């Protein structure tokens, strides 16, 4: 081993003698010095952020409507606004300005409100006397407002505001962080817990190190190391080396691994420095960050193996660099082609929701299009309306559809498009069977709706951070508006409406999840840091029957089956709770930190099915109080799950294939609904996917970095706060094995070439 | 009888180049010779004769096409053999980031010498090659002569039984050359075998016991240097007190050639002759009443002998090459280079 260790040691000497190394190390030091002063301080949530405004333009309108009522919270707030802004808002009213100008006004209004939150004079007991304060606000007031420090006082004002304007403003969480640079605060405080901050920090770090080291660092290292092998092969140098009692392949391999030293030194310096800075400033001692060091060296080794093969053939550094860049370009093109086909065409075809609708089977795909299975034609026929196309299927997030058996129609809540920042108002949509499942758009649902349920007698219920509402009216009558010559006349025919049916004792806030049990008329809710079970009273109102503190701030999904409530959290943990007491009876983490995307329960209340974003299904038997012992076929490829009225299990895999099992207990296949793959699917299955599989994937190692830092096998593409929203599945092991195989092949070929070559 | 340190028998090497129009270049065409232990053996030949190819085959850097070659009783290129060989390539390149010490450390460890052993020996070794004060200096500051000395030092570091030195005095000043000669003699005294390839024939002549002359991939001569310098090319020079006609008449049997003439004497060179012919010739001159002013044996230098041997070969081969398919071998510009050729190998 001594000769080969000498070669590797010499590579260290050579790297240290390189001026470029020192320049890069100095740049990294500067970067770390720049990042080190960035930190945060824990504080409480006070400021109203744009995301907290449920409907910004409605809030503006609300103030305008109450400007003459100074004894109401809205009128009082109006009186506190600067005169010029009042005029601006008044003109909006008179001009009935467009949405853009109202949004701009809402932006300024948010700033004005935030200013008022920090004013000790703003709170006026007479004005806000009708506001029923929550527990925290009541406690603060009891301790005496005058004795509060400014921060506590501002917090109190915010809590008052949240209740007074609950229809327009999302309730503030408890914790927040204030970012600081040296001692100076940066912007407003951000409503994040430390855990959430760490999660965001991990995502940001994954992005930054992937760019800095994975792209820029590897490229610089390739430039610097490209000459190592050609120099070794120079006449006079190679003769001297080969005259020594060393093996040619091992000599080459030692030189190759020695070449990796350059990126190793830089990566260790940057990553270890970043690890220390982030650990020190953010309290995030991420071992995953340190594990990215070998990953980046591995990525470099893949490109370097190509560079060295070119070097031993042509003995020219420039040719090595050009060949490496060509290799990168080919990998990039293949990766992008596969990813584009996956995201834009094929993943959008995956089933999102299965709806067993009596003797029909309906599915909707990720684009929001609905299809009915036609047994005689052995195919899916589109029935629910074409949605726009986009990455991951732009149709979701959509709630439902569910089958409204009494009225024989599909019911869903879906938005009309837009992006994660500016999505149009979600509306209730129904698709009657006798109308060939053609969707009919009804009125807009209250803001923050996350749950849709069909109650007894076809009652439509929606729940969200705006409370629990019942739909009153005929959804099949459209939005009820009057049309004149095809134009909607606002204000006319708003017969249909949503009526709030909770007793207002629960603070409906994010993170929010709910599940309705139609048979028992019960609603299980996770709202903020509280779990609650609501039952219907004789007046038809839902009231809190049981509640429990849930001291967590991450997102979750909730489900209900028989005597159990299941709460599946963002960190991949599943809590099984007693449905009466809400006490935990079991906790599972079947798939590490992977996020759940859907929970379904069997009508008989025996089975719970939790589907995860990385397309694996977990079943729980509430009777035996243990996880199911059998798994359906196609784990890692399951995109949707549902239970039929007969408690059979429907599972969708691939691009629209649905398999019906008689029950999760026996897992015996009962029926299969799959049409012949079309040209695009065949092209993918028999062409692109095999080519992609055998092709090296250095670019995909970025997914491994994300996984190391976040421990999650999926990454959000849309709304991170919505667990049901699409996420990209990060394939961790395929790129590792594929790249390892490629590296082994390249090194073997190079070793054989070097062994056979006369120098 | 001791077995040879280097043994080459009917060694052939054919390079092939070109992807479409394959060209065969025969660098070695049946080379055979032995090198005995403890001798300094010189390898001579013009550019393109196949000397470097031969050395590289001995070291396993290039693979033979046919024939056999062994070093220290092991097949040429065998790793165990290379453990006992020190090699100084022509125009060697020692990485510029190394110093004298770290270079010895690096190459010593490549030869499996423990670090402690290297540190123990390196000062003395650098002193021997005249770099005693330059051990800590980066080699990028070295002159060509200093690099040669350092190359020699690394070749000797692991106490090899055989040293293969390719142009060891290239770029070295006269004092340095003398030092290297001295070192070579010391190695010889220690019983080590030195295989020397140099263009400086005077250097070879001063140190080598035997030489092999290669030309066009064939051995033209193997043997002690005096065989070459005193062979058929040895001349006798007579300065006689006689006119030209009388002198030529007396020496007519020996093919005399008049070298110079003045008023009283004529200087004549005669062809190589045996001792009996010399005795007879002297008797004849005296019987003719001619006085002998001087008589000397004109011993050729190695360079003259080499030029005479190679010059006539090249003249002959040029005539032959005009009809030969491998006429590339005639000129230096068509000399095969392993870097851009594919070998037709036999491992």
- A231: nearest CA partner in chain B: B95
Q: Which of A427-436, B83-92, B229-238, B261-270 has the lowest mean pLDDT?
A: B229-238
Closest in B59, B89, B97 to A236, CB measured: B89
For B268-303, letters b (16+ CB in 10 Å) and e give bbbbbbeeeeeeebeeebeeeebeeeeeeeeebebe
Q: Is the pLDDT of residue A485 over 80?
A: no
* pLDDT tens digit sequence for A72-108: 999 999 999 999 999 888 887 555 556 677 788 888 9
A231 and B CB contact within 8 Å:
yes
Q: Give B-chain residues touching A3 at CB under 8 angstroms.
A: 109-112
What is the distance in angstroms between the Cα of B6 and the nearest Cα belonging to chain A? Answer: 16
What is the distance in angstroms between the Cα of B59 and the nearest Cα belonging to chain A? Answer: 6
User: What are the residues of chain B with a beta carbon less than 8 Å away from any beta carbon of chain A?
Assistant: 15, 56, 59-63, 79-80, 82-83, 85, 87, 89-95, 97-98, 102, 105-107, 109-112, 114, 151, 154, 164, 338-339, 341-343, 345
Tell which wins on pLDDT, A749 or B280. Answer: A749
- Note the residue count of chain B: 347
Question: Any long-range contacts for A597-600 (C-beta under 8 Å, 24+ apart)?
Answer: A597/A557, A597/A723, A597/A724, A597/A727, A598/A557, A598/A640, A598/A641, A598/A724, A599/A515, A599/A557, A599/A558, A599/A559, A599/A566, A599/A568, A600/A559, A600/A641, A600/A642, A600/A643
Q: Which is nearest to A603 in space by CA: A638, A558, A649?
A: A649
Task: Output the pLDDT for position A369.
Answer: 83
Q: Which is nearest to B59 in space by CA: A239, A298, A737, A185?
A: A239
| Averaged pLDDT, B266-283 | 79
**Torsion sign across C-alpha atoms B76, B79, B85, B90:** positive
Model ipTM value: 0.80
CA angle A336, A342, A346 (to 5 degrees): 150
In the three-class reduction of DSSP (H, G, I as helix; E, B as strand; rest coil), residue A686 is classed as helix
Tell which wins on pLDDT, A344 or A53. Answer: A53
Distance from C-alpha of A410 to C-alpha of A458, rounded to nearest angstrom: 11
Cβ of B62 within 8 Å of Cβ of A759? The answer is yes
Whether the Cβ atoms of residue A545 and residue A506 lie closer than 8 Å to each other: no
Closest in B92, B109, B339 to A6, CB measured: B109
Task: Output the pLDDT for position A488.
Answer: 52
Mean pLDDT of chain A: 87
- Orientation angle between helical segments A194-209 and A701-710, nearest 10 degrees: 160
- B344: nearest CA partner in chain A: A758
Residue A255 burial (C-beta neighbours within 10 Å; 0-12, 13-18, 19+): buried
Q: Which of A126-130, A210-214, A247-251, A506-510 has the lowest mean pLDDT?
A: A506-510
Q: Give B-chain residues touching A237 at CB under 8 angstroms.
A: 92-95
Distance from C-alpha of A603 to C-alpha of A648, rounded to nearest angstrom: 9
- B14: nearest CA partner in chain A: A758
| Averaged pLDDT, B44-50 | 88
Task: Output the pLDDT for position A342.
Answer: 79
Closest in B62, B93, B102 to A236, CB measured: B93
Q: Is the pLDDT of residue B327 over 60?
A: no
Cβ of B111 within 8 Å of Cβ of A245? The answer is yes
Whether the Cβ atoms of residue A72 and residue A131 lie closer than 8 Å to each other: no
| pTM score | 0.78
Closest in A2, A13, A315 to B102, CB measured: A13
Q: Which of A171-175, A742-746, B252-256, B290-294 has the lowest mean pLDDT?
A: B252-256
Q: Is the pLDDT of residue A619 over 80?
A: yes
Q: Which of A377-391, B90-104, B307-321 has the lowest mean pLDDT?
A: B307-321
Q: Which is nearest to B344 in space by CA: B51, B28, B6?
A: B28
First to last CA, chain A: 24
What is the distance in angstroms between the Cα of A705 and the nearest Cα belonging to chain B? Answer: 35
- For chain B, how big is the Rg over CA atoms in Å? 25
Cβ of A236 within 8 Å of Cβ of B112? The answer is no
| Averaged pLDDT, A165-173 | 82
For A467-518, the DSSP string reads EEEEEES-GGGTT--EEETTEEETTS----EEEE-B-S-S---SSEEEEEET
pLDDT tier for residue B278 given thresholds of 50, 70 and 90: confident
Q: Give B-chain residues touching A242 at CB under 8 angstroms.
A: 59-61
Cβ of A243 within 8 Å of Cβ of B59? The answer is yes
Distance from C-alpha of A101 to C-alpha of A707, rounded to nearest angstrom: 42
Q: Which of B85, B95, B105, B165 to mutate to test the interface with A (most CBs of A within 10 A)?
A: B95
What is the distance in angstroms between the Cα of A654 and the nearest Cα belonging to chain B? Answer: 49
For chain B, strand residue ranges (E) read 6-17, 23-35, 40-44, 66-71, 74-75, 85-88, 162-166, 193-197, 210-215, 218-224, 235-241, 257-261, 266-270, 291-298, 342-344
* pLDDT tens digit sequence for A185-222: 998 888 888 888 888 898 899 889 988 888 888 988 89
Cα dihedral A193/A198/A199/A203 (nearest 10): 140
pLDDT tier for residue A268 given thresholds of 50, 70 and 90: very high
Cβ of B341 within 8 Å of Cβ of A758? The answer is yes
pLDDT tier for residue A294 given thresholds of 50, 70 and 90: very high
Cβ of A13 within 8 Å of Cβ of B97? The answer is yes
Pairs across A and B, CB distance < 8 A: 94
Whether the Cβ atoms of residue A390 and residue A438 lie closer than 8 Å to each other: no
Task: Output the pLDDT for position B2.
Answer: 73
Whether the Cβ atoms of residue A632 and residue A662 lie closer than 8 Å to each other: no
Task: Output the pLDDT for position A389.
Answer: 43
Residue B196, both tokens:
């020397």
What is the distance in angstroms between the Cα of A9 and the nearest Cα belonging to chain B? Answer: 9
Distance from C-alpha of A410 to C-alpha of A401, rounded to nearest angstrom: 6
Whether the Cβ atoms of residue A668 and residue A660 lie closer than 8 Å to each other: no
DSSP secondary structure letter of residue B263: S
A235 and B CB contact within 8 Å:
yes
Cβ of B61 within 8 Å of Cβ of A243? The answer is yes
In the three-class reduction of DSSP (H, G, I as helix; E, B as strand; rest coil), residue A411 is classed as strand
pLDDT tier for residue B1 given thresholds of 50, 70 and 90: low
Q: Give A-chain residues touching B93 at CB under 8 angstroms.
A: 231, 234-237, 240
CA angle A608, A713, A700 (to 5 degrees): 150
Distance from C-alpha of B45 to C-alpha of B25, rounded to nearest angstrom: 17
A241 and B CB contact within 8 Å:
yes
pLDDT tier for residue B152 given thresholds of 50, 70 and 90: very high
Q: Give A-chain residues touching B90 at CB under 8 angstroms.
A: 236
Q: Which is nearest to B46 in space by CA: B333, B332, B312?
A: B332
Find residues 9-38 of chain A whose CB sits inside 8 Å of chain B.
10, 13-14, 17
Task: Output the pLDDT for position A96.
Answer: 53
Whether the Cβ atoms of residue A400 and residue A412 lie closer than 8 Å to each other: yes
Task: Output the pLDDT for position B153.
Answer: 95
Distance from C-alpha of A460 to C-alpha of A498, rounded to nearest angstrom: 9
Distance from C-alpha of A127 to C-alpha of A113, rounded to nearest angstrom: 16
Cβ of A235 within 8 Å of Cβ of B91? The answer is yes
- B83: nearest CA partner in chain A: A245
- A247: nearest CA partner in chain B: B79
State the residue for tokens 């945060």.
A40
Distance from C-alpha of A310 to C-alpha of A225, rounded to nearest angstrom: 13
What is the distance in angstroms between the Cα of A254 and the nearest Cα belonging to chain B? Answer: 12
For B101-125, the DSSP string reads HHHHHHHHHHTT--HHHHHHHHHHH
Q: Give B-chain residues touching A246 at CB under 8 angstroms.
A: 79, 110
Whether the Cβ atoms of residue B252 and residue B65 lie closer than 8 Å to each other: no
Q: Which is nearest to A688 in space by CA: A406, A432, A372, A338?
A: A338
Q: Is the pLDDT of residue A482 over 60?
A: no
pLDDT tier for residue A523 given thresholds of 50, 70 and 90: very high
Cβ of B109 within 8 Å of Cβ of A237? The answer is no
Q: Which of A192-196, A306-310, A752-756, B115-119 has the lowest mean pLDDT?
A: A192-196
Cα dihedral A687/A693/A695/A701 (nearest 10): 140
Q: Which is nearest to A475 in space by CA: A412, A415, A430?
A: A430
- Orientation angle between helical segments A317-340 and A218-225, nearest 10 degrees: 150
For A160-217, the DSSP string reads HHHHHTTTTBPPP-SEEEEEEETTEE-SS-B---HHHHHHHHHHHHHHHHIIIIIIII
What is the distance in angstroms between the Cα of A258 and the nearest Cα belonging to chain B? Answer: 14
pLDDT tier for residue B345 given thresholds of 50, 70 and 90: very low
Cβ of A13 within 8 Å of Cβ of B91? The answer is no
Q: Give B-chain residues touching A244 at CB under 8 angstroms.
A: 82, 107, 110-111
SS (H, E, C) B224-258: EHHHHHCCCCCEEEEEEECCHHHHHHHCHHHCCEE
All residues at 6 or more sequence positions from A643 whose CB lies less than 8 Å from its CB, including other chains: A356, A600, A601, A602, A603, A607, A609, A649, A650
- A235: nearest CA partner in chain B: B92
| Averaged pLDDT, B236-255 | 81
Whether the Cβ atoms of residue A124 and residue A76 lie closer than 8 Å to each other: yes
pLDDT tier for residue B323 given thresholds of 50, 70 and 90: very low
Cα dihedral A590/A596/A600/A605 (nearest 10): 40
| Averaged pLDDT, B293-317 | 73
Q: Which of A341-355, A405-419, B68-82, B133-147 has the lowest mean pLDDT?
A: A405-419
Q: Is the pLDDT of residue B332 over 60?
A: no
Provide, rounded to the nearest whole percent, the portion of chain B with pLDDT above 90.
45
Cβ of A239 within 8 Å of Cβ of B89? The answer is yes
- B64: nearest CA partner in chain A: A758
Task: Output the pLDDT for position A99.
Answer: 66
Which of A169-173, A630-634, B172-176 shows the highest mean pLDDT? A630-634
Q: Is A457 left (phi over 0), alpha (psi -120 to 50) or beta?
A: left
Q: Which of A292-301, A684-693, A746-755, B147-156 has the lowest mean pLDDT?
A: A684-693
State the residue for tokens 């005095």.
B169
| Averaged pLDDT, A621-646 | 93
What is the distance in angstroms between the Cα of B157 and the nearest Cα belonging to chain A? Answer: 12
Q: Which of A305-309, A325-329, B50-54, B200-204 has the lowest mean pLDDT?
A: B200-204
| Averaged pLDDT, A380-387 | 74
Closest in B15, B63, B110 to A6, CB measured: B110
Closest in B61, B98, B110 to A239, CB measured: B61
Whether the Cβ atoms of residue B163 and residue B189 lie closer than 8 Å to each other: no
pLDDT tier for residue B245 given thresholds of 50, 70 and 90: confident
Whether the Cβ atoms of residue A530 and residue A136 lie closer than 8 Å to each other: no
Q: Give B-chain residues touching A240 at CB under 8 angstroms.
A: 87, 89, 92-94, 107, 151, 154
Task: Output the pLDDT for position A33.
Answer: 95
Whether the Cβ atoms of residue A398 and residue A382 lie closer than 8 Å to each other: no
- Orientation angle between helical segments B100-110 and A2-16, nearest 10 degrees: 150
| Averaged pLDDT, A494-506 | 81
Task: Output the pLDDT for position B12.
Answer: 95
Tell which wins on pLDDT, A655 or A398. Answer: A655
Cβ of B62 within 8 Å of Cβ of A234? The answer is no
């Amino acid at each position: 081993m001594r000769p080969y260790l000498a070669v590797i040691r010499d590579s260290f000497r050579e790297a240290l003698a390189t001026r470029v190394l020192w320049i890069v190390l100095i740049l990294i030091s500067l970067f770390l010095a720049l990042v080190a002063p960035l930190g945060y301080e824990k504080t409480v949530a006070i400021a109203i952020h744009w995301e907290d405004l449920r409907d910004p333009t409605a809030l503006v309108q609300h103030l305008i409507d109450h400007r003459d009522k100074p004894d109401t919270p809205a009128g009082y707030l109006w009186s506190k606004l600067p005169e010029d802004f009042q005029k601006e808002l008044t003109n909006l009213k008179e001009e009935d300005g467009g949405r853009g100008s109202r949004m701009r006004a809402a932006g300024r209004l948010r700033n004005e409100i935030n200013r008022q939150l920090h004013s000790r004079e703003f709170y006026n007991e007479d004005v806000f006397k009708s506001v029923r304060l929550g527990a925290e606000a009541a406690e603060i007031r009891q301790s005496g407002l005058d004795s509060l420090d400014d921060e506590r006082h501002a917090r109190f004002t915010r809590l008052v505001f949240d209740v007074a304007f609950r229809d327009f403003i999302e309730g503030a969480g408890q914790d927040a962080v204030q970012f600081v640079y040296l001692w100076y605060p940066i912007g407003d405080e951000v409503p994040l817990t430390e855990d959430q901050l760490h999660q965001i920090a991990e995502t940001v770090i994954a992005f930054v190190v992937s760019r800095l080291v994975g792209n820029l660092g590897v490229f610089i290292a390739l430039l610097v190391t490209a000459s190592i092998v050609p120099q070794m092969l120079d006449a006079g140098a190679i003769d001297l080396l080969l005259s020594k009692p060393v093996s040619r392949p091992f000599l080459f391999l030692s030189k190759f691994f020695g070449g990796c030293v350059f990126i190793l030194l830089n990566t260790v310096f940057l990553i270890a420095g970043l690890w220390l800075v982030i650990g020190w400033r953010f309290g995030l001692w991420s071992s995953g960050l340190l594990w990215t060091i070998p990953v980046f060296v591995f990525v470099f080794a893949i490109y370097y193996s190509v560079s060295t093969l070119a070097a031993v053939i042509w003995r020219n550094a420039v040719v090595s660099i050009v060949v490496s860049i060509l290799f990168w370009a080919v990998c990039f093109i293949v990766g992008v082609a596969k990813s584009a086909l996956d995201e834009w065409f094929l993943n959008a075809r995956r089933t999102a929701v299965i709806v067993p609708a009596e003797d029909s089977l309906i599915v909707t795909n990720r684009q929001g299009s609905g299809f009915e299975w036609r047994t005689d034609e052995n195919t899916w026929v589109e029935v629910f309306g074409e949605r726009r196309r986009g990455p991951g299927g732009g149709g979701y997030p959509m709630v439902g559809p569910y089958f409204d058996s009494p009225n024989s129609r599909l019911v869903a809540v879906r938005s009309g498009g837009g992006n994660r920042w500016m999505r149009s108002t979600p509306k209730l949509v129904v698709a009657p069977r006798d109308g060939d499942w053609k969707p009919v758009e009804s009125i807009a649902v209250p803001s923050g709706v996350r749950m849709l349920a069909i109650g007894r007698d076809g009652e439509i219920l929606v729940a969200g951070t705006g409370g629990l509402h019942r739909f009153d009216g005929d959804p099949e009558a459209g939005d009820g508006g009057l049309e004149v010559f095809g134009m909607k006349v606002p204000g006319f025919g708003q017969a249909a409406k949503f009526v709030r049916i909770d007793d207002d004792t629960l603070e409906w806030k994010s993170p929010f999840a709910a599940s309705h049990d139609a048979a028992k008329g019960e609603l299980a809710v996770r709202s903020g840091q509280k779990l609650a079970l609501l039952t219907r009273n004789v007046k038809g109102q839902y009231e809190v029957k049981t509640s429990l503190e849930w001291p967590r701030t991450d997102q979750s999904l909730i489900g209900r089956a028989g005597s159990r409530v299941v709460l599946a959290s963002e960190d991949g943990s599943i809590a099984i709770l007693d449905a009466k007491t809400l006490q935990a009876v079991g906790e599972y983490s079947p798939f590490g930190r992977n996020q759940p995307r859907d929970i379904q329960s069997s009508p008989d209340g025996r089975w719970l099915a939790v589907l995860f974003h990385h397309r694996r299904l977990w079943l729980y038997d509430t009777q035996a109080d243990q996880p199911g012992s059998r798994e359906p076929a196609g784990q890692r490829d399951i995109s949707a799950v549902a239970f039929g009225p007969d408690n059979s299990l429907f599972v969708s895999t691939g691009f629209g294939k649905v398999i019906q099992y008689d029950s999760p207990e026996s897992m015996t296949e009962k029926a299969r609904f799959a049409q012949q793959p079309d040209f695009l699917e065949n092209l993918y299955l028999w062409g692109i996917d095999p080519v992609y599989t055998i092709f090296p994937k250095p670019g995909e190692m970025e997914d491994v970095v994300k996984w190391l830092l976040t421990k999650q096998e999926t990454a959000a593409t849309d709304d991170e706060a919505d667990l049901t929203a699409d996420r990209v599945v990060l394939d961790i092991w395929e790129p590792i094995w594929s790249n390892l195989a490629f590296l082994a092949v390249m090194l073997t070929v190079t070793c054989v070439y070097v062994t056979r070559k006369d120098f | 009888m001791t077995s040879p340190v280097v043994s080459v028998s009917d060694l052939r090497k054919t390079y092939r180049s070109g992807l479409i129009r394959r060209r065969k270049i025969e660098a070695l065409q049946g080379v055979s010779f032995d090198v005995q232990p403890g001798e300094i053996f010189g390898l001579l030949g013009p550019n393109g004769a196949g000397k470097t190819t031969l050395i590289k085959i001995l070291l396993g850097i290039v693979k033979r096409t046919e024939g056999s070659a062994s070093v220290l009783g092991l097949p040429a290129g065998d790793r165990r053999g290379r453990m006992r060989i020190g090699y100084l390539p022509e125009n060697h390149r020692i990485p510029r980031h190394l110093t004298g010490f770290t270079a010895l450390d690096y190459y010593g460890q490549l030869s499996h010498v423990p670090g402690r052993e290297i540190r123990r020996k390196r000062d003395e070794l650098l002193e021997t090659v005249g770099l005693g004060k330059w051990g800590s200096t980066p080699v990028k500051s070295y002159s060509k002569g200093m690099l040669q000395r350092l190359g020699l030092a690394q070749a000797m570091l692991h106490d090899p039984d055989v040293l293969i030195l390719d142009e060891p005095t290239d770029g070295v000043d006269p004092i340095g050359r003398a030092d290297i000669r001295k070192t070579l003699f010391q190695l010889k005294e220690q019983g080590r075998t030195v295989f020397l390839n140099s263009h400086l024939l005077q250097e070879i002549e001063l140190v080598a016991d035997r030489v092999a002359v290669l030309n066009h991939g064939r051995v033209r001569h193997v043997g002690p240097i005096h065989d070459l310098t005193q062979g058929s090319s040895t001349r006798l020079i007579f300065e006689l007190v006689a006119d030209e006609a009388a002198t030529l008449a007396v020496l007519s049997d020996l093919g005399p050639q008049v070298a110079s003439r003045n008023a009283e004497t004529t200087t004549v060179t005669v062809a190589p002759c045996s001792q009996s012919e010399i005795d007879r010739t002297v008797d004849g001159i005296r019987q003719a009443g001619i006085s002998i002013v001087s008589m000397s044996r004109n011993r050729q230098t190695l360079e003259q002998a080499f030029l005479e041997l190679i010059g006539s070969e090249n003249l002959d081969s040029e005539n032959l090459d005009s009809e030969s398919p491998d006429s590339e071998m005639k000129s230096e510009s068509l000399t095969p280079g392993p870097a851009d050729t594919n070998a037709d190998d036999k491992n």
